[in-house]
Amino acid sequence: MNVELIQDACRWNAYTDNFPEASIYHGWAWGQLVEETFGHQAHYLAASSGGAIQGVLPFVSMKSRLFGQFLVSMPFSSYGGVLATTTEARNALLEEAARFAQQTGARYVEMRQGAACDVQWLDKTPKVTMVVELPGSVEELWNRLSAGRRNMVRNAKKQGVRVEWGRAEMVNRFYHVFSRNMRDLGTPVYPKSLFENLCRRLPGKVEIMTVWDGSQAIGAGLTIGHRNSVELPWASTLRETRKKYPADLMYWSLLERALQNGYEYVVLLDTSGSCCSRAASGKPALPFSDRGLEAAACASGKLAGPPRRARHSLRGTQDSIRYDQTRLCTF
């Protein structure tokens, strides 16, 4: 088994595009996006036999004043890690990644593997993902929402709130809402160039929705479509407009559009520990989650526990609480 860093984007994408478990973050474009936006160097490790790729592991060299130097697969996303056709290829890639880290002085290698993987690395499950399985029609989707949630969506529309969809031309409006919300939360915000570069490097896959109250943008979200699912990695609304229910209308619009565009799943990302902490406070972690669903997720185990995929039914809608695994190899 030959393991080496490659620079052939076409050869790399030919493998990841046909690998069933590959995410969009495994593709060549995501590493280039990180390089272009943040200046961190991307590496593309491939294992091959007889000239045919048997496995890949993309990762990025990161440097931080707080955490030092480390490797991540993949940063600025929830997914990454190793993809391999054979166990031999997987093990060879992991060994080479560890060797590369030691040679370059990295403190650890972090793989955002997502699903369970039999490797002897430290496992953590710090993030939660909610996956909504879409029904066959918009009418069925609407009827599966609780009465209270439908009333919130109707209320937003009665107040004149509307949602518009676009692509790169909406980056400025999206960023205006997103950066303001991050500022209000006291959270450092990504540069606008991240979203501009994302739209340019993934044309046709990125859409932006903006929630309007008259001529004022009061909410926005950026979606990424990949295969049979669409993901919402970034979304914000202005806190002073909550009584107009912009978040409820935005999430409904996302579900409706995903169904109309032929997607089977909508992926909603939640951050470290927020599912349990917000459920305990009585506040829903996501605009379209219900307290009972979150309580079931929290009752299924600690976020730092072993990998698990719990499926719960909410008014006939199939939602999945997924505890995404992160694996660490420290030195």
Domain ranges of the chain: 2-120, 128-324
- Residue 139 DSSP class: H
Q: Write the CA distances from 48 to 52, 79, 187, integer angstroms.
A: 5, 23, 42
- Report the relative pairing of strands 229-237 and 265-270 from DSSP bridges: parallel
Task: Give me the helices (H) in the chain, please.
Answer: 9-16, 28-38, 87-104, 138-144, 147-158, 171-185, 192-201, 246-260, 274-281, 291-299
Class of domain 2-120: alpha beta
Q: What is the pLDDT of residue 142?
A: 95
Which residue is it, tokens 């600025």? Answer: 76
Q: Do domains 2-120 and 128-324 have the same CATH topology?
A: yes
Residue among 193, 200, 190, 213 nearest 167 (CA): 200
Q: Which CATH architecture has domain 128-324?
A: 3-Layer(aba) Sandwich (3.40)
The whole-angstrom separation of Cα 72 and Cα 136 is 38
Taking the chain (331 residues) in runs of 10, the rounded mean pLDDT of each run is 96 97 96 97 97 97 90 92 95 94 92 72 76 93 93 98 98 97 93 98 97 98 97 95 96 96 88 34 36 29 29 41 63 54
Per-residue pLDDT, 326: 67
